């Protein structure tokens, strides 16, 4: 069992930045695929970014490439999402998710990626125009 707790959401104007954090607790695994997903009101849930915690290889959905950066601190068991040049379209509830199957981190990761095994409660990001 892995528990995930997100923090760092908030409200910013377009062009601003936010940094999301996700701290894991519970059973420890040497290697995971961890990622961020989001869901806006009335829209489908979509993948945002993912990272292999052993190789640090990262994967991004097209809408956020060049603006968002995912990273992971293994010693702190914390996942981050640095979001820059935010747009109103980025407004959504952001969820930290993780999967024991590291093959979930692959070049096909994108907005349509299926959910991972474990998910946090989410943190709200609101970007005003």
Give the strand pairing for 123-128 and 10-13. parallel
pLDDT at 1 (0 to 100): 87
Q: Identify any residues that bridge with 60 across adjacent strands, giving them in sequence order.
A: 49
pLDDT band at 118 (very low <50, low <70, confident <90, very high): very high
Q: Are residues 65 and 50 in contact, defined by beta-carbon separation less than 8 angstroms?
A: no
Mean pLDDT of 70-85: 96
pLDDT digits (tens, 9 = 90+) for 92-112: 999 999 999 999 999 999 999
> Is the CA virtual torsion 77, 61, 83, 66 positive or negative?
positive
Strands (E), 53-102: 58-60, 68-73, 78-83, 92-99
State both tokens at 62. 């097209």
């Amino acid at each position: 069992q892995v528990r995930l707790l997100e923090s760092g959401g908030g409200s910013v104007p377009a062009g601003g930045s936010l940094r999301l954090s996700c701290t894991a607790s519970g059973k420890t695994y040497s290697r995971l695929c961890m990622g961020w997903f989001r869901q806006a009101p009335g829209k489908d849930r979509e993948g945002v970014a993912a990272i292999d915690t052993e190789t640090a290889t990262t994967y991004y959905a097209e809408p956020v490439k060049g603006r968002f950066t995912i990273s992971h601190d293994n010693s702190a068991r914390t996942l981050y999402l640095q979001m820059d040049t935010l747009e109103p379209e980025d407004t959504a509830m952001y969820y930290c998710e993780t999967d024991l199957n590291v093959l979930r981190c692959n070049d096909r990761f994108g907005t349509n990626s299926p959910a991972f095994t474990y998910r946090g409660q989410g943190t709200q990001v609101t970007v005003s125009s």
